[in-house]
């Protein structure tokens, strides 16, 4: 039930008074009927006197119990199953109190209350009190006779679980939304031909093509937040063949901080139909370490940084320091969070993370306890042309922040890394690999718990393949793929951020965490799915061209280096990769030299020094030879 405002205006007082008056009558009626049923309609005179002498006591005890359990701060029209549990508890408690009191005391020379009367009284009180509330809700939510005729978009909801029920209730309660549910689809055979809130379950997912032929449907809604991509893909394909638009609720990662509402419905995206199931965990419990803490996010205006800011703010941080060197990006996330009601905790800072002086002042002023370092240059071809900036921002910037975090007593520090840091072939990958080495090195000696989180391609992030394909589709094609067999690991932005937050919570020091991302996805298949979701036929309406692999690009990305040992964590989908760290003194000396070369401004020596540091790190870790076999990244083999 929805709580009413706690005020004692005349209108509110009258409303509560009316509720108490109705309950008083219902309790008295239940008590009388308990005698009536106990004695089969022929109540002896002494028990009539017992009723008359105790009814006020019973009513007073039960209504006082209801008041104590805050029955009258709620609106009956919003009664839910959770409120039914409270009604059962209140009826049981009040009946036990009545039995206890009347067993030890009764007025005058009245006889004892029969136990059968007490049992009937409990059942009838529960029936009357609960039934009255649900009856009021049923009457209020029943549409007027004039609205029983179908109006608005006729929709079929796939999923008769909690999410589908919530959507159905909202659509029927608010006819102005313009939705008329004409049926439900659910794979539970027990629900077949049942009615949920008056709407018929018309079959299972396998029956969807038949239902779309037999029933007029303007839109199909997927209300299964936990469904894997293959299930969604099957529904989308059936809708595409039938020419019916399809919308969906977001997946679990996007719903982690919000409730299910009609306003969340959106078009189906390619990330919704990927073949992997979303990562599920008790996120609220895992992320409790952020409650009431001062949190810093670098790169706050980027794709990952923005989502980090959203989730950290929603979790309940005390202060959120958002650092970015791009003014417009920072302005947008700042405005978004202010509109969501988080203005009191926001500290937007325009600064370059590799600027020691600026970042020193930020740490000194804001005293962050948790740092998420998401600032990075990530576009591989662009960084090949600008190696100085790649090394300065990705590697030296991480060194600056790690040193400051350690010096200012930060509790936890997490680097957002990438699978391109694994056996790197490009400057961008090498710079992130060196950033991981910095984190590993600090983790061996510092009281701050350092960690890096490594994941594959993030769907929808700036510069990722999705917006590039989308732009090409909007232009009418062709969609360009570098190689027909190229594969990549994919995850959504909310999933990636949850991994970052969860992994930081279990970090012990110098850890590299990786998500078991399932099977890699062929880029060619991804392109075809995006074309189909846009309403076109691949190869017919929009062409797909294979243009060849770019310099430094891998055919298949990997998640682990050959010298890393892969271990599970207590969260089954998160793996920990460990390897011997580079000697801290030697690494620091190398970073000082690398900083000097960057300042000198010649790309060739910088690139050479980068690869030399990584080579030395591998030799030191291996002791001259590889330690163990290379771990597989296949879903079934990664244990």
DSSP 127-171: HHHHHHHHHHHHHHHSPPGGGSS--SEEEEEE--SHHHHHHHHHH
Question: Residue 327: pLDDT band by 50, 70, 90 thresholds?
Answer: very high
The encoded tokens of residue 28 equal 């008295």
Question: What's the pLDDT score for residue 255?
Answer: 56
For the cut 70, the answer to whether the pLDDT of residue 106 exceeds it is no
User: Which alpha helices (DSSP H) does 243-326 contain, by range?
Assistant: 252-255, 283-286, 303-315
For the cut 50, the answer to whether the pLDDT of residue 3 exceeds it is no
Residue 242 and residue 213: Cα distance in Å, rounded? 8
408 closest CA partner among 360, 457, 341: 360
Q: The tokens 């909801």 sit on which residue?
A: 157
Burial of residue 197 (number of CB atoms within 10 Å: 0-12, 13-18, 19+): middle
Could you give the angle at which helices 327-339 and 303-315 cross, rounded to 10 degrees? 30
What average pLDDT does the segment 146-166 reach? 73
Residue 359 and residue 587: Cα distance in Å, rounded? 22
* H or E stretch covering 418: strand 412-418
The encoded tokens of residue 423 equal 């056996």
336 closest CA partner among 295, 305, 367, 362: 305
For the cut 50, the answer to whether the pLDDT of residue 350 exceeds it is yes
405 closest CA partner among 360, 374, 444: 360
Give yes or no for a contact between 523 and 465, defined as CB atoms under 8 angstroms apart: yes
Give yes or no for a contact between 410 and 450, defined as CB atoms under 8 angstroms apart: no
For the cut 90, the answer to whether the pLDDT of residue 321 exceeds it is yes
Contacts of 636 (CB under 8 A, 6+ apart): none
- CATH class of the 145-268 domain in this structure: alpha beta
What are the contacts of 338-341 at 24+ separation with CB within 8 A? 340/310, 340/313
pLDDT for 5-63, tens place per residue?
Answer: 444 455 556 667 777 888 888 888 988 888 888 888 888 888 888 888 888 888 888 88
∠ CA 63-66-72, rounded to 5° = 105
Contacts of 223 (CB under 8 A, 6+ apart): 157, 158, 159, 161, 163, 164, 167, 248, 249, 260
The encoded tokens of residue 620 equal 């030191």
* H or E stretch covering 452: strand 449-455
For the cut 90, the answer to whether the pLDDT of residue 627 exceeds it is no
What average pLDDT does the segment 188-203 reach? 80
How far is CA 242 from its chain centroid? 31
Residue 334 and residue 508: Cα distance in Å, rounded? 32
What average pLDDT does the segment 153-175 reach? 83
Question: Residue 439: pLDDT band by 50, 70, 90 thresholds?
Answer: very high
Instruction: Give the pairing of strands 294-298 and 266-267.
Output: unpaired
Give yes or no for a contact between 201 and 228, defined as CB atoms under 8 angstroms apart: no
Question: What's the pLDDT score for residue 626?
Answer: 37
Question: Residue 252: pLDDT band by 50, 70, 90 thresholds?
Answer: low
- What are the C-alpha distances in Å from 417 to residues 39, 237, 458? 77, 35, 12
Q: What is the mean pLDDT of the chain?
A: 81
Q: Residue 522: beta bridge partners?
A: 487
Question: Residue 460: pLDDT band by 50, 70, 90 thresholds?
Answer: low
Question: What's the pLDDT score for residue 533?
Answer: 79
Question: Residue 409: pLDDT band by 50, 70, 90 thresholds?
Answer: very high
- CATH class of the 283-457+490-518+556-622 domain in this structure: alpha beta
Q: How many other C-beta atoms are found inside a 10 Å radius of the C-beta of residue 15?
A: 15
% residues pLDDT > 70 (the chain): 83
Q: How many other C-beta atoms are found inside a 10 Å radius of the C-beta of residue 363?
A: 20
Residue numbers annotated as active site: 420
Q: Write out the residue limits of the CATH 3.40.50.720 domain(s) in the chain.
A: 145-268, 283-457+490-518+556-622
pLDDT for 178-190, tens place per residue?
Answer: 888 888 888 887 7
* H or E stretch covering 390: helix 387-390
For the cut 60, the answer to whether the pLDDT of residue 575 exceeds it is yes
pLDDT for 274-291, tens place per residue?
Answer: 655 555 555 666 788 898
pLDDT for 219-242, tens place per residue?
Answer: 898 888 777 777 888 888 888 888
Question: What's the pLDDT score for residue 629?
Answer: 33
Could you give the angle at which helices 10-38 and 45-68 cross, rounded to 10 degrees? 140
* Phi/psi at 449 (5° precision): -85, 105
Instruction: Give the pairing of strands 219-222 and 153-158.
Output: parallel
Question: What's the pLDDT score for residue 76?
Answer: 59
Q: How many other C-beta atoms are found inside a 10 Å radius of the C-beta of residue 561?
A: 20
């Amino acid at each position: 039930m929805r709580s009413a405002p706690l005020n004692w205006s005349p209108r509110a007082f009258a409303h509560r008074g009316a509720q108490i008056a109705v309950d008083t009558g219902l309790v008295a009626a239940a008590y009388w009927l308990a005698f009536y049923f106990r004695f089969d309609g022929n109540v002896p005179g002494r028990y009539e006197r017992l009723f008359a002498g105790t009814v006020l006591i019973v009513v007073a005890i039960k209504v006082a119990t209801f008041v104590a359990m805050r029955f009258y701060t709620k609106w009956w029209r919003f009664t839910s199953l959770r409120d039914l549990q409270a009604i059962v508890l209140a009826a049981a408690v009040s009946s036990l109190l009545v039995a206890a009191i009347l067993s030890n005391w009764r007025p005058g020379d009245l006889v004892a209350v029969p136990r059968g009367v007490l049992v009937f009284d409990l059942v009838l009180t529960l029936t009357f009190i609960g039934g009255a509330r649900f009856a009021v809700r049923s009457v209020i939510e029943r549409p007027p006779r004039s609205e029983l005729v179908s109006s608005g978009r006729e929709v079929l909801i796939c999923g008769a679980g909690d999410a589908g029920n919530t959507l159905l209730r909202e659509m029927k309660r608010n006819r102005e939304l313009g939705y008329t549910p004409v049926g439900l689809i659910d794979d539970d055979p027990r629900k077949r031909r049942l009615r949920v809130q008056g709407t018929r379950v018309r079959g299972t997912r396998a029956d969807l093509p038949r239902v779309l032929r037999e029933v007029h449907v303007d839109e199909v809604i997927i209300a299964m937040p936990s469904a894997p991509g293959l299930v969604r893909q099957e529904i989308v394909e059936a809708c595409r063949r039938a020419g019916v638009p399809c919308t969906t609720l977001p997946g679990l990662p996007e719903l982690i901080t919000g409730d299910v509402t009609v306003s969340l419905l959106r078009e189906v995206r390619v990330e919704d139909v990927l073949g992997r199931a979303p990562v599920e965990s008790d996120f609220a419990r895992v992320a409790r370490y952020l409650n009431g803490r001062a949190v810093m996010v670098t790169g706050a205006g980027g794709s990952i940084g923005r989502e980090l800011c959203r989730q950290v703010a929603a979790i309940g941080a005390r202060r959120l320091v958002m650092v970015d060197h791009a003014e417009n990006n920072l302005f947008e996330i700042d405005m978004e969070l202010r509109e969501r009601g988080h203005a009191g905790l926001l500290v937007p800072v325009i600064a370059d993370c590799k600027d020691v002086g600026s970042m020193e002042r930020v740490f000194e002023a804001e005293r962050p306890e948790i740092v998420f370092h998401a600032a990075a240059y990530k576009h591989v071809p662009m960084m090949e042309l600008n190696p100085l900036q790649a090394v300065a921002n990705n590697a030296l910037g991480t060194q600056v922040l790690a040193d400051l975090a350690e010096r200012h007593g930060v509790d936890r520090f997490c680097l957002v890394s990438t699978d391109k840091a694994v056996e790197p072939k490009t400057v961008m990958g090498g710079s992130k690999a060196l950033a991981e080495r910095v984190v590993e090195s600090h983790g061996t000696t510092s009281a701050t718990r350092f960690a890096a989180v490594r994941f594959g391609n993030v769907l929808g992030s700036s510069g990722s393949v999705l917006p590039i394909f989308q732009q090409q589709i909007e232009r009418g094609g062709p969609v360009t793929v570098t190689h027909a067999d190229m594969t990549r690991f994919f995850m959504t932005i909310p999933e990636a951020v949850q991994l970052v937050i969860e992994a930081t919570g279990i970090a012990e020091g110098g850890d590299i965490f990786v998500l078991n991302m399932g099977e890699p996805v062929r880029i060619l298949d991804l392109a075809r799915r995006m074309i189909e979701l846009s309403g076109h036929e691949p190869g017919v309406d929009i062409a797909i061209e294979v243009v060849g692999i770019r310099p430094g690009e891998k055919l298949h990305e990997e998640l682990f280096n050959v010298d890393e040992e892969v271990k599970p964590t207590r969260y089954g989908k998160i793996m920990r990769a460990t390897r011997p760290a580079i000697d801290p003194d030697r690494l620091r000396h190398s970073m000082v030299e690398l900083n000097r070369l960057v300042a000198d401004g010649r790309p060739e020596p910088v690139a050479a020094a980068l690869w030399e540091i990584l080579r030395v790190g591998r030799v030191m870790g291996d002791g001259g030879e590889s330690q163990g076999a290379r771990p597989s990244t296949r879903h079934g083999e990664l244990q």
